[in-house]
Amino acid sequence: MYKKDEQEKAKKNLIITSILIYGIILIVFFSYKHNKINDVTVLKYGRTDNYILNRPEIGISKNDDKNQYAGQYTPWTVKTNGGKKVAYLTFDDGPSLNTKKILNILNKNNIKATFFLIGKNAEKHPDLVKDEFYCGEVIGNHTYSHQLNYKEGTESFINDLNKCDEVLKSILGKSYNSKLIRFPGGSFGPKLEPFRASVTSAGYRFIDWNDAIGDANGYNLPVKTLLSNLKKYTTQNTVVILMHDAGAKTTTAEALPQIIEYLKSKGYSFDTLE
């Protein structure tokens, strides 16, 4: 009788233990799933090369973020002191004749921006590359050929980055030593995970954006449309704004004074990516 009671007790303990373990597993599973959903929300906005990445601000210091040299750089995740609002103006796909117009507007407003250059365009306009650099703008690498399909593999992609890096160094000399890059079309999605890892291993620091004016959606879009997009997507205290200074983006240059005016009216100061 005593032995039977012990067996029943052991059986009950086993059942209780199993239920507890199962409950813990469920809690961990749903907690992980919830965090994955809320970690990064990607909103589709136009073509494949124009996504907007929205992530919540977290409490890490600016210095900690700046010291993250290689890998992904996400300044909009840095909680600013006192709710300070900072706008990073970024221009992709240049240089072109529009670059000169943009530089004049920036200089007039005493604002510096970050330009991600395509290597083959830099070869065509070396004087504009120098103008950007000596005006105090930050220059980043946007690959040599700007291939959007990523079908050639990670080694080819790194070679394309390195080729652009060599072009920029040939124009600017030892003064250029930046490792800041932007993926053509952005680094979003599981497909590009091997590319993100390879870029990090190669010592590059890559950045996407969390704001845009939508000039990637077509040629010479109305200024009114570009401003409307900006107002729609400027929702965080720190915004990295995607714009383009390619030759076909003439209305981007036309809209820039109003873009700056709007951001100032909303309390933003301006800074460059480093």
Active-site residues, by number, are: 92, 244
Bridging pattern class, strands 41-44 and 51-54:
antiparallel
- The vertex-184 CA angle with 71 and 191, nearest 5°, equals 70
Map tokens 């052991």 to a residue. Answer: 10
d(Cα 271, Cα 199) in Å, to the nearest integer?
25
- The vertex-117 CA angle with 114 and 118, nearest 5°, equals 160
Length, in residues, of the chain: 274
Which residues, including other chains, have CB under 8 Å from residue 74's CB and lie 6 or more apart? 53, 55, 65, 207, 208
Helix orientation angle between 250-265 and 223-233, rounded to the nearest 10 degrees: 40
